[in-house]
Amino acid sequence: MPRYANMLAEGFSNLGYDVDIWSPKPIFFKMPVPRNLKKWMGYIDQYIIFPRLVKSRIKTINKNTLFVFSDHALGPWIPLVSNFPHVVHCHDFMAQHSAKNLIPQNMTSLSGKIYQKYIFNGYSKGKHFISVSKKTQNDLHEMLRQKPKSSYVVYNSINPNIKFGGIVSDSYTLADKLNLNLANGFILHVGGNQWYKNRRGVILIYNKWRESSLSDMPLLLVGSKPTQELIELKEKSSFSDSILFLSEINDELLYQIYSAATMLLFPSLGEGFGWPIVEAMALNTPVITTNEAPMTEVGGDAAIYIPRLPIGENITSWTRKGSDAINRILNLDLQEKEYLQKKGIENAKRFTLENQLEELNDIYKKILLKYSII
């Protein structure tokens, strides 16, 4: 959320707008209290002190001000400005769905449900929304049970430092740099340990593929440090030595890894957008992902799709389909592979920062016009 807010602030500052970021400051949180009280001190800063500061500052704002919420999870503060020009950005509603017991893989505690209800009560007072995908927009309308006064879709952008197809990085060089056995290529997954990233499913697909393959191409999982569950799953694998985890890397190295990878395996259970799909395509890497929105929105006709991991069923068929998708990419001849890579780059060009800021700028102006301000 802070990264997205900073992107908006920098982008619109560069367009000539006056931008100011309002956020709770650690006042009570800095007080010398026992560790177990720190959380509650933070709540005082967020839900008691900050709202009072907002109400005070609102009295002196310029009439042309648009209040931009970088995420609907900031819902508790939306009612403070709901009668002023405002817009709420929405990324995904998985936490909200979990709180409604709609996601069996990720049940929410009672306190979590209360908090998500608190968030809902806030953003439901909003009138203008921008979602990062049509899937997120549909989820928003279902949560609100009606279409808000205005609702738009603006896709996320990839990092402008990524040069489409421009990074030259081979697995031999990368293998030396990382001190890993990647010289003959590797299957890549990028993501954290959130349930929906399905890192467990990635390993299960890899195991199935290795069982019937003569190749010993390793699997590299880049992102958060693995959980104990993932470590145990790796250790139980017959191909444990070929399952590698890499964490705490910078963007520059990540882009080199993308460029050197043989393919990206991204069987996500759900996303708001799905950045790794676009990043991989932009850097010439074929993508295998899930055949559900928003992955299909982002991947377009340039990805290879597999079904979503089934719930509570025998997943042998699913892992076999994932294995078949890996073989499909490996069996492409040079011309077919280049064609798939070209489609990937062209698809990724839809998601530039320039496009995103231009679309957001137009929408922000439309919202201000609804209040007869500009």
pLDDT digits (tens, 9 = 90+) for 101-153: 998 888 899 999 999 999 999 999 999 999 999 999 999 999 998 889 999 99
**Weakest-pLDDT range from 159-168, 305-314, 358-367:** 159-168
Q: Note the pLDDT tens digit of each residue in 240-255.
A: 999 999 999 999 899 9
Nearest 10 degrees: Cα torsion 110, 112, 117, 122: 150
Neighbour tally for 236: CB within 10 Å: 10
Q: Is the peptide bond before 294 cis (omega within 30 degrees of 0)?
A: yes
Q: Using pLDDT thresholds of 50, 70 and 90, give the confidence band for residue 374.
A: low
Tally the residues of the chain: 374
% pLDDT > 70, the chain: 98
Say if residues 84 and 65 touch (Cβ distance below 8 Å): yes
Give the pairing type, strands 128-131 and 86-90: parallel
Q: Which CATH architecture has domain 2-157+353-370?
A: 3-Layer(aba) Sandwich (3.40)
- Would you state the pLDDT for residue 180? 83
Spatial separation of the C-alpha atoms in residues 358 and 365, rounded to whole Å: 11
Look up residue 213 and give its two tokens. Answer: 């393959």
State the pLDDT at residue 168: 65
Domain limits, the chain: 2-157+353-370, 171-348
Nearest Cα to Cα of residue 262 among 347, 158, 189, 191: 189
The domain made up of 171-348 has a fold known as Rossmann fold (3.40.50)
The predicted-structure confidence for 306-335, as pLDDT tens digits, reads as follows 999 988 767 999 999 999 999 999 999 999
58: buried, middle or exposed (CB in 10 Å: 19+, 13-18, 0-12)? middle
Going by their DSSP bridges, the two strands 187-191 and 219-223 should be labelled as: parallel
Cα–Cα distance measured from residue 173 to residue 165, given in angstroms and rounded to the nearest whole number: 18
- Sheet of 187-191: strands edge to edge? 243-246, 219-223, 187-191, 263-266, 287-290, 304-306
Average pLDDT, the chain: 93
Is pTM beyond 0.85? Reply is yes
pLDDT at 177: 81
Give yes or no on whether 2-157+353-370 and 171-348 have one common fold. yes
- Is residue 373 pLDDT above 70, yes or no? no
Percent of the chain with pLDDT over 90: 80
Mean pLDDT of 341-366: 96
pLDDT grade, residue 36 (50/70/90)?
Answer: confident
* Residue 35 banded pLDDT, cuts 50, 70, 90: confident
